[in-house]
Amino acid sequence: MKRRGVAFYAQLAFTLVVSAFLIVPVGLSMLAGITANYFQGVGSGLTLDWVLKVWQLYSDSIYLSMQIALACLAATLVLGVPAAYGLARRPSAFGRAIEELMVMPVAIPGLATALALIVAYGGFRGFRTSWAFILVGHVLFTLPFMIRSVLAVMSAIDLKMLEEGAASLGAGFARRFFGIVLPNCRSGILAGSLMVVTLSIGEFNMTWLLHTPLTKTLPVGLADSYASMRLEIGSAYTLVFFLMIVPLLIALQLMIRPKGDIR
Amino acid sequence: MSTRIRLTACGKTYANRHQGAGGAALEPLDLEIAGGETMVFLGPSGCGKTTLLRLIAGLESPDPGGHVLFDDEDVTFVPIERRKVGMVFQSYALFPNLSVEGNVGYGLKVRGDPPAERRARVDEMLEMMRIGDLRHRAIDQLSGGQRQRVALARALAVQPRVLLLDEPLTALDAKLRDSLRIEINTLLRRLGITSIYVTHDQAEAMTLGDRVVVMSKGRIEQIGRARDIYFKPANRFVAEFIGTMNRLPAIVADGRLSIDGGAALSWAGPDGPIEILFRPEDAVLCAPGRGQLSGVVRASFFLGDRTRVVIDGKSCEIVVETTSRGDFAHGTTVGLRLDPALLLAL
C-alpha cells in the first residue's frame, strides 16, 4: 500500500472541517426537533412529541405539497417530453431560441414570476384561491428541468435512425414513440421526474407569494412554524422535511448514474 | 416472386440547409432493378447514392413528377412503414431497450403475428445468422459484427419485398468486413430477394452485386456488371473511380498513335492530341527499347502474387503491375509494351 504524505492528511482534515461546518447545524436542528426542551439541552430527554405535533398542525400542508408535486410531475411529463422530442427531431434556429428562452423562469427570481402571475390572473378568484394557482407557478419553474434532461438523452442517442429502423419494420408513429422513443429516453425522463418532484416539494420563493392560508405547502409551513412556533416545532418540521426529501435525492443520484456502473 | 423496382424521373432537391450549396442532391433519373437482383449503388460521399436508396425505402419522397414502383404498384406515396422493405443501416439502428430476440422479433410483433409463430421465425433467423447463443443479450453487449448480424436478421425476419443495405460494413474492421461481405453475398443469392447495397468501397461493389450503378454528383455515370465497369468504363469519372488507371497524353497522326513521345502503334481514330488510359496490369514490362515506352523505376512494391512498379515516364508517372519475379530496383531503366486493344481513349 502506498504511503500517504502530509498533504493528503491536511486536505482530508480541511474537507472534514468544511463538511462538519455544513452538516453540524443540520444535525443540531434535527436533534432540537426530538429534544423535550431545547433550552435545557438534550439532558431534558428525547421525544417524538414535537414531530407528532407538527404532523397534527401541518399534515394538510404536507399532503398538499405531495399533491402539487405529483400534479406538477404529470404536467411536466405531458408538456415536456413531447416538447423535448420536437426540439430533438427538428433542430432549427427557432428551436434553439426556445431552448434558451426556457431557462427564463429559472433565471428570473421566483418572486417576480409569482407577482406577474398574480397581476395577470389574480382577478379570477376561484383560480387564485385554488391549489392549481400554485401548480401553474411550479410547472413554469420546473418544466425547463424536465425538457433539458430529456433533451440531453434524446440528443445523445440517434433518435432519427432508431425511428427509421422501427418504421422500416412497419411501426407507425404511436408505436415508435411509445415502444422505441420513450423506453430509450427512460434515464432522462426519470432524472427529469425526480428533479421536478424535488424542486416542487422544496419550492418556497414563488409559492410564498402564490399561497393562501388554505393552500399552504410544506416549505411555506416551515417558514410559518419558524416565525410563530416554538423552536422545537420548527426543528421537528425540518426533520420531517428531511425525511421526505433525502430519500428522493438519493433515488435521483442512483437513477442518473451511468448504466455501466450498475452492471 | 421477387419484387421488381422501377424508378421514373426520380430527383431530389433539398432546401439549402441540408446540402452545402442547396440544389439537387439527385438529378431526375430512371432506373430499373430486376426481381431478385442485387444492385450496388457505388460512388464517393455526397454522390446521391444514399438519397436514392432513401427514395426507394420511402424515407424521402421524390420531387414532383418522380415515381417509385414495386412491380406494378406505385408506392411513391406509401410511407416506409407500409412499403414492406427491410433496411440495414450503417450504424445498425438496433433498439437498445430490447434484447437480441426482441429486436429480431420487433417487426413480427408490430405485424401482429401470434407468439408461437413469432418465436419460430425468430429462431429460424437467429440460426440463419448463427447468433442463436446471443438471443438474450442486450445490444450494448454485442460486438460490431454481431450487431450487424442482428440487424440483418431483424430486417429479413418480416420477409420484406426488398432488402436495402446502407453501407452495412463500413463501421467494421477490414477482416470482419471481408468475411461478412462473403456471407451477405451468399445469403442474398440463396434468398433470391431483390436487394440494393450502397457503398463507397469499390472492392465491395465489385464482389457483391449483379450490377453496379456508379454515381457522382447526383447523376448515374454508368450501370453495368462489375467487369463492364472495370474494362469498359463509360467515361473518365468511372475509369478513374474504379481501380487504378494510367493516363498518358498521346497524338494520333495518319492512323498511328504515339504515346508520351514513345514509338507509334497502329490506331483507328481521328487525328489530333488525345489522352489514353490503361490499367496497371495491361502493360507488359520488357527490356528498354523493346516496347513503345520506357522509363526509370521510381519504386516497387512486392505484393506476393504480383509486383506493383511505379515508373517515371517522360511526362508523368505510370503504374504497372507484373507477375514477373524480377525485383525492379529503384533507378533501373525498363521498357513498356502496350497492346492497342487494351487502351482506352475517353
A162 touching chain B per CB within 8 A: yes
Task: Residue A171: list chain B partners with CB under 8 A.
Answer: 81, 106, 110
A89 touching chain B per CB within 8 A: no
CB A181 within 8 A of CB A166: no
Retrieve residue B144's grid coordinates: 460490431
Which residue out of A153, A157, A159, A169 would a mutagenesis test of the B interface target, given it has the greatest number of B Cβ atoms within 10 Å?
A: A169
B212-232 pLDDT, tens digit per residue, is 999 999 999 999 999 999 988
Of A167, A180, A184, the CB nearest to B81: A167
* Alpha-carbon gap, residue B146 to A158, rounded angstroms: 19
Which residue out of A168, A261, A263 would a mutagenesis test of the B interface target, given it has the greatest number of B Cβ atoms within 10 Å?
A: A168
* Poorest-pLDDT segment among A169-183, A212-226, B73-87: A212-226
pLDDT higher than threshold 50 for residue B46: yes
Crossing angle between the packed helical segments B144-157 and B174-191, to the nearest 10 degrees: 20
Retrieve residue B147's grid coordinates: 450487431
Q: In what order do the strands lie in the sheet with B162-166?
A: B85-88, B162-166, B194-199, B38-42, B211-216, B219-224
Of A167, A168, A186, the CB nearest to B86: A168
In chain A the domains, ranked by start, together with CATH numbers, are 49-262 (1.10.3720.10)
| CA distance to partner chain A, nearest, from residue B175 (Å) | 26
The pLDDT assigned to B175 comes to 84
CB contact under 8 A, A184 and B107: no
Retrieve residue A253's grid coordinates: 443520484
CB contact under 8 A, B87 and A172: no
* Alpha-carbon gap, residue A50 to A28, rounded angstroms: 15
CB contact under 8 A, A165 and B94: yes
The pLDDT assigned to A31 comes to 84
The pLDDT assigned to A263 comes to 34
The rounded percent of chain A whose pLDDT value lies above 90 is 31
* Alpha-carbon gap, residue A236 to A216, rounded angstroms: 18
Retrieve residue B169's grid coordinates: 460494413
* Alpha-carbon gap, residue B252 to B258, rounded angstroms: 6
The alpha carbon of residue B255 and the mean position of all alpha carbons in its chain are separated, in whole angstroms, by 38
CB contact under 8 A, A164 and B80: yes
B99 secondary structure, DSSP code: B
The pLDDT assigned to B19 comes to 47
* Alpha-carbon gap, residue B130 to A185, rounded angstroms: 31
CB A59 within 8 A of CB A75: no
CB contact under 8 A, B93 and A175: no
The pLDDT assigned to B16 comes to 60
A236 Cβ contact partners less than 8 Å away, ≥ 6 residues apart: A32, A33, A34, A50, A51, A53, A54
Provide the total of helices (H) and of strands (E) in chain B, helices listed first: 8, 20
3-state class (DSSP) for residue B295 = strand
CB contact under 8 A, B96 and A184: yes
CB contact under 8 A, A169 and B158: yes
User: Which residues are paired to B311 by β-bridges?
Assistant: B297, B318
State the pTM of this model: 0.80
3-state class (DSSP) for residue B278 = strand
Among chain A residues, the shortest Cα distance to B111 is held by: A170
B56 Cβ contact partners less than 8 Å away, ≥ 6 residues apart: B5, B7, B68, B85, B162, B164, B196
A186 touching chain B per CB within 8 A: yes
Mean pLDDT for the stretch of residues B52-64: 92
Task: Residue A161: list chain B partners with CB under 8 A.
Answer: 89, 91, 93
The pLDDT assigned to A216 comes to 84
* Alpha-carbon gap, residue B169 to B180, rounded angstroms: 8
CA atoms within 13 A on the CB side of B284: 10
The pLDDT assigned to A245 comes to 80
A156 touching chain B per CB within 8 A: no
Cβ within 8 Å of B, A 189-248: none
pLDDT higher than threshold 50 for residue A262: no
Of B59, B91, B110, the CB nearest to A170: B110
Retrieve residue B127's grid coordinates: 440460426
3-state class (DSSP) for residue B168 = coil
3-state class (DSSP) for residue A56 = helix
| CA distance to partner chain A, nearest, from residue B89 (Å) | 8
The pLDDT assigned to A231 comes to 81
A35 secondary structure, DSSP code: B
Pick from B227, B167, B211, B221: nearest CA to B36: B211
The pLDDT assigned to A78 comes to 96
- Dihedral sign of CA atoms A76, A77, A79, A80 in order: positive
A170 touching chain B per CB within 8 A: yes
* Alpha-carbon gap, residue B106 to B110, rounded angstroms: 6
pLDDT higher than threshold 90 for residue B6: yes
A174 Cβ contact partners less than 8 Å away, ≥ 6 residues apart: none
In chain B the domains, ranked by start, together with CATH numbers, are 5-241 (3.40.50.300), 246-345 (2.40.50.140)
Among chain B residues, the shortest Cα distance to A160 is held by: B93
* Alpha-carbon gap, residue A139 to A149, rounded angstroms: 15
A4 secondary structure, DSSP code: P
Of B59, B111, B155, the CB nearest to A164: B59
Greater confidence (B47 vs B17) lies with B47
A180 touching chain B per CB within 8 A: yes
* Alpha-carbon gap, residue A89 to B213, rounded angstroms: 32
The pLDDT assigned to B23 comes to 63
A25 touching chain B per CB within 8 A: no
* Secondary structure of A147-214 as H, E, C letters: HHHHHHHHHHCCHHHHHHHHHHCCCCHHHHHHHHHHHHCHHHHHHHHHHHHHHHHHCCHHHHHHCCCC
Q: How confident is the model at residue A218 (pLDDT cuts 50, 70, 90)?
A: confident
3-state class (DSSP) for residue A83 = helix
* Alpha-carbon gap, residue B105 to B156, rounded angstroms: 10
* Alpha-carbon gap, residue B213 to B223, rounded angstroms: 4
CB contact under 8 A, A168 and B155: yes
CB contact under 8 A, A170 and B81: yes
Q: Which residues of B make CB contacts under 8 Å with A?
A: 57, 59, 79-82, 84-87, 89, 91, 93-97, 106-107, 110-111, 154-155, 158
The pLDDT assigned to A261 comes to 39
The pLDDT assigned to B21 comes to 52
Mean pLDDT for the stretch of residues B101-126: 93
CB contact under 8 A, B106 and A171: yes
Among chain A residues, the shortest Cα distance to B153 is held by: A169
The pLDDT assigned to A258 comes to 55
A258 touching chain B per CB within 8 A: no
CB contact under 8 A, B158 and A161: no
Task: Residue B79: list chain A partners with CB under 8 A.
Answer: 167
User: Which residues are paired to B259 by β-bridges?
Assistant: B250
3-state class (DSSP) for residue B209 = coil
Q: Which parts of chain B are beta strand (E)?
A: 5-14, 23-33, 38-42, 67-70, 73-74, 85-88, 162-166, 194-199, 211-216, 219-224, 246-253, 256-259, 264-266, 272-278, 283-286, 293-302, 307-312, 317-322, 333-338, 344-345
Mean pLDDT for the stretch of residues B189-195: 91
CB A189 within 8 A of CB A119: no
Of A165, A183, A184, the CB nearest to B89: A165
pLDDT higher than threshold 70 for residue A257: no
* Poorest-pLDDT segment among A258-262, B24-28, B56-60, B249-253: A258-262
* Alpha-carbon gap, residue A188 to A150, rounded angstroms: 4
pLDDT higher than threshold 80 for residue A113: yes
Q: Which parts of A25-161 are beta strand (E)?
A: none
| CA distance to partner chain B, nearest, from residue A165 (Å) | 6
Calculate the average pLDDT of chain B: 88
CB B247 within 8 A of CB B315: no
User: Which amino acid, one-letter code, is at B91?
Assistant: S
Instruction: Find where cell 427509421 sits.
Output: A164
* Alpha-carbon gap, residue B206 to B40, rounded angstroms: 9
Task: Residue B59: list chain A partners with CB under 8 A.
Answer: 164, 167
pLDDT higher than threshold 70 for residue B77: yes
Of B81, B93, B97, the CB nearest to A172: B81
B303-329 pLDDT, tens digit per residue, is 888 889 998 887 788 898 988 887 788
